Structure 1
């Protein structure tokens, strides 16, 4: 059952935007990691309801996540009594929008359930839950799976020469499928020759490519709609999947997340081993 903030239950269910329970929450965090031909899903559950957690500890309820993909008709139900789980999924089974719906569900009949956090409007009587009933529900988490997301972010950036540029001048073009990083012919030759060096790659990532990624993100912030250009689609989906907000967060902050904190690459390949003088 998909999350619907307008839906009502005949018994108290701990949900966002609902006052069935007061002063307690049920929250989940889902993270997808794409590696090779596998997608790893890591999910954590947190509830501040001591009574619901007690039912899980006793074996009368479980955390449940349902992973579904309409485009491929994929559906997987994961049950656990632990506050976190990790599962690997075949990348071919997921495409387009992927939904994760998470719950606390009774797996056995529960007699005489009480909680001081239940809204007094439900009365003072104890509750009886039958196996299969939803006890808590979180908002649906949606991510987007695109074959291009299996490639590094650099795959949507292309270094090209521009005969009109000279010296260290460079430009960023965003009107093609790949972001065009334009440099002079001489500079492109120098960069191409330097790519075999880890030190040089670390410097390039933290200078030219980081600046280009930041500029592309700023263009998404300022313009927004780039049609179906590949670079915009891939970057927008990666921003969404990482739980980032292109409207409220600075472009350079988002760039660091998308590039997996490139300053660490500079430290490992350039700074490490150097001593202060």
Structure 2
């Protein structure tokens, strides 16, 4: 786990900023854990066990370890399960031993992160399972909490999804408002193509928009809020010329039928937008 990293994500900066927020760095009287400092002797030591109370898909344990190591570099930490591993309720995830104040101060930040990321990974795995064996790939979206996108998209990967656009910079996404300003689908796509954009995703919500989008140079079609029968018609019309992605109205009850229409991808915003946190606890024992 010492080599764990996410491209474009500064782990030390994230951990420091999160701890500073909890400690009130910069606030009047802030910069300290008043409870731990007043109640726990500076030399006290704890051992601890982080465990899952429910079945989950694990994500974020290396980040949790970084919180503890930030406050006690000599803390002994043993991560017991792998990222993306599906575990049953009652499974021990991490064992740690070190300075008691450091453990108590880092506890909530560490748990918040693992609970949130494991919740996303668990929800994502449920959607992957609900898609069945149709062969479509599950995609996440940009519906993420500001500042947490890299972590949240990492968690969807642990659950079995593929990352869609990371942001506004890595592909054009032409949607209804862009089309409204440009005048029509074809003109919007042409403008992106003429600007030298390589990857052009174009949202269409009607069958008659497909050919103009393809003729203008769209490299990927997002079939928005189409019923399964309409999706089948769209896939047949595209006939493999570009990848097709279904989006809108997707939940655990509908995704199986949507994936079975022949689309290449199904994107789901709720993977990151509204996944419930996993129930994970951390119990300490004085040494």
TM interval, shorter chain, is under 0.3
With normalisation by structure 2, the TM-score equals 0.26
**Structure having the larger proportion of residues in helix:** 2
Structure showing greater relative contact order (alpha-carbon pairs closer than 8 Å, 6 or more residues apart)? 2
Comparing both structures, which one devotes a greater share of its residues to strand?
A: 1
- TM-score (norm. length: structure 1): 0.27
